[in-house]
Amino acid sequence: TVRLVPDETYAQDNQWNKIFSSYTDTLGGKAIGKRKTLQVLLDGSAVVSHTNKNFYTLFDSNGKYVKEFSVKQGGKVLKNLTPIKGIINQNTFFTIPDNKGNIQCFDFNGTLVKTLNLNYRVSDMVALNNNKIAVVGTSSQTTKHRFFIALVDFNTNEEKVIWEHFVDRKDLDINFDPNIEFIDNHIIAAFPTLGGIMIFDQNGKLMTNEKISWVKYLSVEEQQSLIRKEIEDLKNNPQQRIDPSIDPQLYKEKVNEWIQKLESKMRQISKPMIEPAFSTILKTSADQLLFFEIPEKVGENRFHVWMYHRDGKFVGKYMFVCDDYDLSITPSKMVFFNGYIYALQNLKNAEGVPLRLVRFRVIGL
C-alpha cells in the first residue's frame, strides 16, 4: 500500500476561497470550475490553469500564492486562453489547442512567443527534448475515423506521423486514443482499449510493440450483461440522467432511442472484447510509469497501480490510499517532482471551496 500524506509545511496561509473562487463557475448550466490543471516548473514553482478564464495562477516553490498572470502580445492581453499542457525548451509554456486548433506558446512572464496550429482534434500532448511535441490526434474521413500520433516541430509547425490506425465510423463507440509520455528519450504510447504499449525513439522510429500483461477480456455474455444492466438503469431510474434544461417529453424520447441503440448493440456482439486496461498513466520522478487501473467502484479512493520500469517490465502492483483527500488521479492534476506528488485535490470535510494545491509525501513506493 502506498500512502499519500500531505506536507503540512506546503502552501500555508493561502486564501483558497479567493484563489479558487472560480471553482463554482458554470458554462451553459454545466459546472466547469473543477476543470483546473497543474504544471510544475523546474524550480518547484507551480502554475494552475482555469477553464474559461483569461489568466493563470502562479505559486512559488513553497506553494505560496504569488499572482495571477495573463498572456500578452504587443501589450495586448489575449482572450479565450486554453489550459497549459506542458513546457518546451525549458522556458516556454504551450497550451492545448483551442477550437480553431491554435496552440499558444509563451514564456514564464506571459509574453507570447509564437502560435502553432493543428487542424484536428487533440487528446494528448507531451514535449520532447528536441524542440518537438508528440501529439495524439483524431480526424474523420468519409467512411473511416483516423487515430494517429504525430511529431510537431516547435520551430516550423511541420508534422510527421509516426503511427496511425483507421476505424469504421460505425465503431466509434470505442476510443483508440493512446496515452503518451516521454521517458529516457523515448515516447511511450499506452493504449487502454487495445491493451498494448508501443515505444518510439524521439525521432518516431518504432522500437517495441507489446501487450500489457494483465489485460482482461470480457466474454460475449459479460458484455451483454453490462448492456442489459445499463438498459435496466435507464428504464428504472431515468430521472437520474435528466438535464433540467431539456423538455421531459423530449428527454423521454431520447431515452427510448438510447435504449433501442443499446439493444441493437447488444445483438451485434459476437466476440470477446478487451476490458480497458487502465484509466491513466503518470510519470514518476525516477522516470517510471504508473498505470492506474479503473477503480471497481465509482468514486473509490483506492487505486490499483502497476509500475512500469524503463527496461520495459512491470515491477510491481500497488494500492494508492489517501485519508485526507478525495483523489482525482490524472496527469492534469497530479505531477511527480523531486520525490513528491504535487496535486490539485479536494480536501475532505473542507469549509467553503474544497480545492487545494497540495504536496504529498509518498510513503511506501
**Segment 209-257, tens digit of pLDDT:** 998 878 888 899 998 998 999 898 888 875 555 555 667 777 778 888 8
Phi, psi values for residue 11, rounded to 5°: 55, 45
Tell me the per-residue pLDDT of 140-180, one tens digit each, with 9 for 90 and over: 888 899 999 999 999 999 999 999 999 887 766 677 899 99
Q: Which helix (H) or strand (E) holds 181?
A: strand 179-183
- DSSP assignment letter at 183: E
pTM of the model: 0.86
- Residue that is written with C-alpha cell 524503463 in the block: 310
Smallest CA-to-CA distance from 276 within 291, 262, 293 is with: 293
pLDDT value of position 359: 98
CA of 243: how far to CAs of 143, 240, 251, in Å?
32, 9, 8
Tell me the per-residue pLDDT of 255-292, one tens digit each, with 9 for 90 and over: 888 899 899 989 988 888 888 888 899 999 988 899 99
- Residue that is written with C-alpha cell 525521432 in the block: 203
Which residue stretches of 158-289 are H helix?
A: 220-236, 248-268
Q: Which helix (H) or strand (E) holds 130?
A: none
The average confidence (pLDDT) of the chain is 90
Distance (Å, whole) CA 168 – CA 150: 21
Asked if 73 and 113 count as a contact pair (C-beta separation under 8 A), the reply is no
Q: Terminus-to-terminus CA distance in the chain, angstroms?
A: 8
In this structure, is the dihedral angle defined by the CA atoms of residues 53, 41, 124 and 243, taken in order, positive or negative? negative
